[in-house]
Structure 1
Amino acid sequence: MSNPLLVVTAAFIAGAGLGHFYYGPLSVIYMIDGLYLVFGIAYFFRCPWHRVLYLLAVLFFLAGMTRYLTAGIIPESDISHFAGQGVTIAGTVADVPQITNLPDGTRRLKFKLTAETVGSYHGNPMVSGGILVYVAQKNNDSMVAYGQKVLVTGMVVLPHGYNNPGMIDMVKLYQRQGITARMATSAKLVKIITVTGQSSWRDHLAVWHERIKKEMLQAMPPKDAAMLNGILFGGYEGIDRQVVRDFATTGIIHILSVSGSHIALVAGFIYGLGKRFKWHNRLIAAVASAAILFYAIFSGMTPPVVRSAFMGLVLLLATVLGREKDAATALAFSALAMVARQPGLIDDISFQLSFGSTAGLIFLYPPIAGKLPKLPGGITDILSATLAAQAAVLPFLAWYFNSFSLSSFIANILVVPPIELMVLLGLLGILAGLLFSMAGHLALICCSLLIGLVVQINSFLAMLPASKIYIPAPGILAVLVYYFLLAWLFGYLPKYFLSPARVWTRWPARVSGVVLFLAISFLFYSFYPQPVVVHFIDVGQGDATLITTPHGRAVLVDTGGSAGSDNDFDVGERVTLPYLKHYGINSLDYLVLTHGHQDHAGGAAFIVKSLPVKNIVLAREDYSPAVQAIMRLKGSSAVIPAYRGERILLDGVLIQVLHAASSTGQVQRNEVSSVVRVSYGKYSFLLTGDLEKQGEAAMLTNGVPPTTVLKVGHHGAKTSTSEEFLQALKPQYAVISVGYNNHFGHPHAETIQKLLKHTIKIYRTDRQGAVVFSTDGETLAVKTFTN
């Protein structure tokens, strides 16, 4: 690779990536930086010119690592240091508040507040940082506005997400947005100091967006209006969830949010228009730049839009300078500038996918297009571009989504072109509607017709067999090997690496032997017994435990689920199922629900809908709404009522029901919780659901064997985990599945003290994320996500 900018950019990003995994003292990195600068400068003056690039690469590598680590330092004045305290914060509203109307007639306000002091502005300590404020208020309560000075009172809480493999790190996501804390409060605890805020372009833009939404609703059905609004401005609000799933299945979900493809479409339209009227290249670039900036502002200047717009402007600048063929350099410059400014972008899924796919188009598209047969109507170009982009980001797709969309090749031919036409027609219609309302109305009607067409086509493609295939989540080594092989296959390695064709020509027998050996090794590994693994998944305030056997059979005990009134977030869809997919679970032998409470069974319906489940074990109680939803979707799954003494044997793993009460016809109680014991070799796990002391006493009466790992009952509530129960079980480890900062006060301090009294090692999902035990029957290992 002879392009110096590509080399130093790759080195800088690699250094930032290594910084992600470094947890040692920063002073060590500073010492290494200093030593390298001293010896590097000394060597520079007698270094051959052809080695200077290596010196620069190491320098940028260290710079990237140092920049990433220093960017994560939170200053002592940051508002996050007041976490866990109830305080009054004075600050400035930093964005236009978002309003969510709730079913009960109230509304929820969300806005970012730039913290300035704790207390009023006079004589109180200065603070810094952004805090995300949620305000519950009535519809007639006054609202804050952008730029206003306000006082808000409430409990400062640190941002938190679901700490499981493959999930987006919400803490880092908020930090990239300048938010280090959050607060939930009520309208009466918000005081506006300045009555009028700054009249910003965002306020005017919000008013304009509302006006456009009303015009859309006048021209098309609400669902079509929501779809067009999402395509033009970004966001899924109002779009049918099944439509969103279908677009994800066909691999074109990015089209429902403003991204690089939208920016490229606007620039491409201006470019084609300019060429049609024979404009000079500089004029085309100037008009296209203005159009990109306008669209970026029009779309709200969200971080993905800003990144895409910046990349588009850099490419246009290359055109003006006569360097339009050097797209790789433009991409490298854009990536280096953005990551140097905000190193946390290397953890951002949007950045990873957008820059990865763009790199695929630059480096992989030409050779792929040259190999494929020429098909009419530009089909070869579309297929080549799709394959190049997906090949470049395949490890990211595997890590985050565990899938590869085969239907994306057809969707990019049949669905994307009408959507691109819809984008242009929608934008032109909105602009035309400012002058001629009839013209804008007609354009929106045409968009509505196109929406109906693309939704039907895309839905059909999503339902095709093998529309989306499963791919396992890779490790770091697998990712490195993949990109090495990709670079080797496409000829981007140094010349001393022989090309695949030359390797095959020189050593056909050896290559065949290596391939055969790897295939046999893979098959042997696939059938070789693995350890038994018990996963306590971080599902927030709820329970979900996954057990996998030596030959890959799977049992899921509880699924987690939303515990509040806001049921838009389905834990089964957004947390539990992705966790199962991440570990290669594509079917369940048993789904065991200890009882029907929402925080244990709320996510089960989506699991049953999405995966083949052979058997469903249910507590003997009146079916809760969550269980009723399962029964509607269970299909051919066998439903088994839980009785004490039931035994399941899978690959040598014994699963027993030790406790199963009945409450048919009564109000559901935690004592109904089934208690499940999992044992393999010398080790055992006791899963107690929400069992309380009364149920524990019943178990003690019947006799309960000791256990290695105790899943603490009822999320560590005071009403569970009695002293007698602990004395009988004698656990070495305790796992508390609990939500961060939950309003129940779980786990109770008394429960923690009892566990510590018995010298039991405690793991908590709210602090350590997913807790995973693995055993071969003779030894036991444990690891947590936060490790």
Structure 2
Amino acid sequence: MFVYSLYGLGGLICAAVYTNSVKSALLVLAVGFAVSAGLFVRHAELRRCAIIGVCLFMAAFSYYRLIDSRNVSMLSVGAVTCEGEIVSKVVYDGDRVRFALRVHKVNAQPVTAEETVQVTVRLKNIEEWKRARDVFRYGTQLAGPLELSVPPEPTNPGAFDYVRFLYFQHVHRVGSIEGLNAISYQAPTSSVRGSLVAAQEWLAERLKEMYGPDTEGLLSGFLLGSVTEIDSETYAKFSGLGLTHVIAISGQHIGMFVAALVFLCRLAGLSREHSFRLTMVMLPLYVFLTGASPSAMRALIMGELVLLALLVRRRADGWNVLGVAFLGMTAVDPYVIHQVSFQLSFLVTFGLLLLVPPLQVRLQWMKPAFLRGLVAVTVAATLTSFPLTVYYFHVFSFLSPLINFLFVPFISVCIAPLAALSLVFGAIHPGFGFLAANIVDSVLTPVLHFLYTIESQRLMRIVWKSPSIIWLTLYGLLVAFIALLLYGKIALNRKSWLLCIVLALICASLPYVDRRAEVRITFLDVGQGDAIVIQTQDRVVLIDTGGIPAVPFDGQTWRIRRKPFWPAQDVILPYLYAQGIGKIDQLVMTHGDSDHIGGVPYVLTHVPVRQVISNGDLPRSHLEQEVAALMQAKHISHAAVSGGQVWEEREGVRWRVLNPTGITGSGNNDRSVVLLLEVYGRRILFTGDLEREGELRLLADGMEKVDILKVGHHGSKGSTSEEWLTQIKPDLAIISAGRNNRYGHPHRDTMERLNQADSRIVRTDECGAVTVIVNNKQLGYTTVKNGMTCR
């Protein structure tokens, strides 16, 4: 079955990669002919395997294409009246409620095919917030006005692709509801799925009552798969340490559940057979209670097959069990191959089956046996998960294997039994679970703080761009070569070691080979604010960091969202990681406004920064004081610049400081650090929030034409004056502004002046992030969106 699953995987990948193209048909034919060569072998078993494999390859390809051809929406965009049923867990986040709604009727007419819409309800007051918690449940029937729209596309390179994510869940529309007054609802009817979702929410509330803030969300994810309860910063720290598998239900959790349940059944006096049967019944309930993630479903299928084999007293072949799990899951939903958790789960399980047995043989000298097994599992899991880790998450810590080696047994042996015990007794009454919960809290909290301290140091950590297919192929060859060495298929001598080292060095260096003689300037879409990343061959410069997290202006705490949009966290850091940037050489704070330096504390905390550049003004706001304190605590060099300073990175790349000048009394905006980048004969001007007074002052000092202008103060009326444009004559004007911002930026007068100056205008609110690439031959730019105004 494992071999057949590889045929199926090949068909699914071909169908997914080469969609609607001639290449698809050619590839299928090529693979079909290549595999069909096995039809002419004399060995009957191999011939039968090849025939079935070819059929399975073609069936998987056709099945994926059939599903994909039907994955379209029949719902129109705009205001409609919908009737439907909530078919997901309801997530409350401040003044917003989110859930999936399966639509039955639109404008009182039954839909031809039921579709699922991802709905967001915006609550207007505390009364609606309280009512929502009583109204919205899994299975609740809703009717009322719904504003349907297409899911928003990513507006920055490296950003999460929400459209693609929803597409593979067969969701093509998002809906918004303003308030609850216009909604009518009916209580949900009883269902197994609804009961499991309600049970998960109820148990999560029990954990909140028993545990402190440091451990409650973590244990909700660990025991119940309720990752929405985990603080985003905590999740990011676990991700940086390579421990996300601990807080998401996976094979490790399923294995512990099966072992614990069988042990308890035997302890209660049940026979071996009855223990296995009861576990086979309870295991699916636990998996669906915890959300039925792809990794949990893989473990469920494999666990059921292993238990069945034990029940009939036969040995379960891990390879074939893995193949059955793959074929079963992809038969239900072929899109599951696109989910990261599915890919990681199957790849790591494959690595464990492949590498653990020979590693344990090679480590016979290591005593005791459980330590040998733990080392083998850690090495195998690290080797096989590494390519997907750097491909999707871009960050790998070389401390991760050691931390997993120590932390996973600690969680499995010490924390898991007590935490589960506290949940079982706490389900009866919170008071019954407090003793075990207090023990877990007192033991786990200092360990977590220690881990967070290690993570904050960013020790032995690398940041890579998503590797190419060539790199992934070479890495696969390296792992295959290591496996052949371990199994003794290749002689362990000087030549084999040399070849292994050469492959490893190529894999380690390949991501750094592409060092082109060019400068890449990315004006990120951070809403109403500025954030510009300049990448040269020698260094990375970040100019401003966007604004602070969005919080309610009226001070109502119930409206504060668990994870509000924060440009530094949600845009800048993902972009840096996607570009393989692990440190910043210079961080320029143009001036002290929060929409320019609101993310500086986050960046200083999460990315090594060599030097901070500012206009030298004394800190006035609390934000500026926080930045100053962080720079001092982290011993970051600080340089106050002024007009006239020049530094050259290399031949053809020169920076000039044009502002601030020595004139005092200027407004905060006109004290902005203004930088001119001269690169390969091109001139790019970064103006911060410079306004007319500052512009006239620079004109008096003698400004020349520029190729690209970052328009000052987001295109406000008081910036980008006619005199300024007449003198500098920018070919391209880039405006960084938020969509539908409350300031009305960019102002129509500014837009008219830019048009009269014959400047091509590109706006981040319309086009998303703008990337300018300059080399010694040409200057060009691209935008994330491709509208008419972005070309």
The answer to whether the superposition gives a TM-score over 0.5 is yes
Give % identity: 27
Q: 2:479 aligns with which of 467, 478, 486?
A: 486
Contact 1:15 1:64 in 2 (8 A): no
For residue 120 of structure 2, give the secondary structure of its aligned residue in structure 1. strand
Pairing 1:401-550 to 2, within 5 Å after superposition: 401-421=393-413, 422-433=415-426, 439-452=432-445, 454-456=447-449, 458-459=451-452, 462=455, 466=459, 468-470=461-463, 473-491=466-484, 501=491, 515=502, 530-550=517-537
Question: Deviation per CA, 1:92-142, whole angstroms, max 9, x where unpaired?
Answer: 3333432234xxxxx332222234455x41699998441322322322223
Aligned partner letter, 1:645: G
Question: Deviation per CA, 1:457-503, whole angstroms, max 9, x where unpaired?
Answer: 5346547884645556422211121112212321399x9xx965379
Question: Deviation per CA, 1:713-768, whole angstroms, max 9, x where unpaired?
Answer: 45566776566655544444454545567676766788778778877666665676
Separation in 2 of the partners of 1:205 and 1:140?
28
Separation in 2 of the partners of 1:368 and 1:291?
34
Match of residue 575 from structure 2: 579
For residue 359 of structure 2, give the secondary structure of its aligned residue in structure 1. helix
Aligned partner letter, 1:113: L
Separation in 2 of the partners of 1:424 and 1:755?
67
Contact 1:489 1:500 in 2 (8 A): no
For residue 191 of structure 1, give the secondary structure of its aligned residue in structure 2. coil
Match of residue 560 from structure 1: 546
Aligned partner letter, 1:406: F
Task: Single out whichever of 729-738 and 683-692 deviates more from structure 2.
Answer: 729-738
Question: Deviation per CA, 1:494-531, whole angstroms, max 9, x where unpaired?
Answer: x9xx96537955x99x969x949978996998797743
Change (3 A) 1:323 1:155: same
Separation in 1 of the partners of 2:484 and 2:346?
20
Match of residue 343 from structure 2: 352
Match of residue 625 from structure 2: 628
Contact 2:549 2:567 in 1 (8 A): no
Structure 1 residue 607: Cα displacement: 1.6
Contact 1:716 1:736 in 2 (8 A): yes
Match of residue 597 from structure 1: 593
Pairing 1:675-694 to 2, within 5 Å after superposition: 675-691=674-690
Separation in 2 of the partners of 1:748 and 1:324?
74
Unaligned segments of structure 1, at least 5 residues: 102-106
Match of residue 233 from structure 1: 224
Separation in 2 of the partners of 1:310 and 1:755?
63
TM-score (norm 1): 0.81
Pairing 1:183-198 to 2, within 5 Å after superposition: 183-187=175-179, 190-198=181-189
Change (3 A) 1:295 1:332: same
Match of residue 556 from structure 2: none
Match of residue 388 from structure 2: 396
Question: Deviation per CA, 1:226-276, whole angstroms, max 9, x where unpaired?
Answer: 433232123466767765455334322321232332112112323455677
Structure 1 residue 374: Cα displacement: 1.5
Separation in 1 of the partners of 2:596 and 2:313?
62
Change (3 A) 1:481 1:537: farther
TM-score (norm 2): 0.81
Change (3 A) 1:612 1:213: closer
Structure 1 residue 556: Cα displacement: 1.0
Contact 2:770 2:782 in 1 (8 A): yes
Q: 1:110 aligns with which of 78, 85, 98?
A: 98
Contact 1:407 1:461 in 2 (8 A): no
Match of residue 375 from structure 2: 383
Aligned partner letter, 2:117: G
Separation in 2 of the partners of 1:334 and 1:559?
46
Contact 1:160 1:740 in 2 (8 A): no
Separation in 2 of the partners of 1:159 and 1:520?
36
For residue 431 of structure 1, give the secondary structure of its aligned residue in structure 2. helix
Q: 1:299 aligns with which of 290, 296, 307?
A: 290
Separation in 2 of the partners of 1:61 and 1:132?
38
Change (3 A) 1:220 1:757: same
Match of residue 332 from structure 1: 323
Q: 2:127 aligns with which of 137, 140, 150?
A: 140
Change (3 A) 1:225 1:129: closer
Question: Deviation per CA, 1:181-214, whole angstroms, max 9, x where unpaired?
Answer: 33444315x5233443434456655654565455
Separation in 2 of the partners of 1:251 and 1:524?
21
Separation in 2 of the partners of 1:523 and 1:14?
25
Structure 1 residue 389: Cα displacement: 0.8
Pairing 1:10-409 to 2, within 5 Å after superposition: 10-16=9-15, 18-19=17-18, 26=20, 28=22, 50=46, 71=67, 77-79=73-75, 81-82=76-77, 85-101=78-94, 107-118=95-106, 120-121=107-108, 128-141=115-128, 142-143=131-132, 144-146=135-137, 147-154=140-147, 156=149, 158-161=151-154, 163-165=156-158, 167-187=159-179, 190-201=181-192, 204-205=195-196, 208-209=199-200, 211-213=202-204, 215-216=206-207, 219-235=210-226, 244-272=235-263, 283-301=274-292, 305-317=296-308, 319-320=310-311, 324-372=315-363, 373-376=365-368, 378-409=370-401
Aligned partner letter, 1:774: I
Q: Matched residue pairs, number?
A: 762
Contact 1:615 1:640 in 2 (8 A): yes
Aligned partner letter, 1:355: F
- RMSD of aligned Cα (Å): 4.6
For residue 187 of structure 2, give the secondary structure of its aligned residue in structure 1. coil
Unaligned segments of structure 2, at least 5 residues: 552-560, 787-791
Contact 2:220 2:229 in 1 (8 A): no
Structure 1 residue 45: Cα displacement: 8.6
Aligned partner letter, 2:472: V
Separation in 2 of the partners of 1:754 and 1:72?
48
For residue 11 of structure 1, give the secondary structure of its aligned residue in structure 2. helix
Change (3 A) 1:244 1:663: farther
Question: Deviation per CA, 1:643-696, whole angstroms, max 9, x where unpaired?
Answer: 333333222321223344899999855x55433222211223223334456655
Separation in 2 of the partners of 1:525 and 1:40?
35
Separation in 2 of the partners of 1:242 and 1:524?
28
Separation in 1 of the partners of 2:155 and 2:86?
28
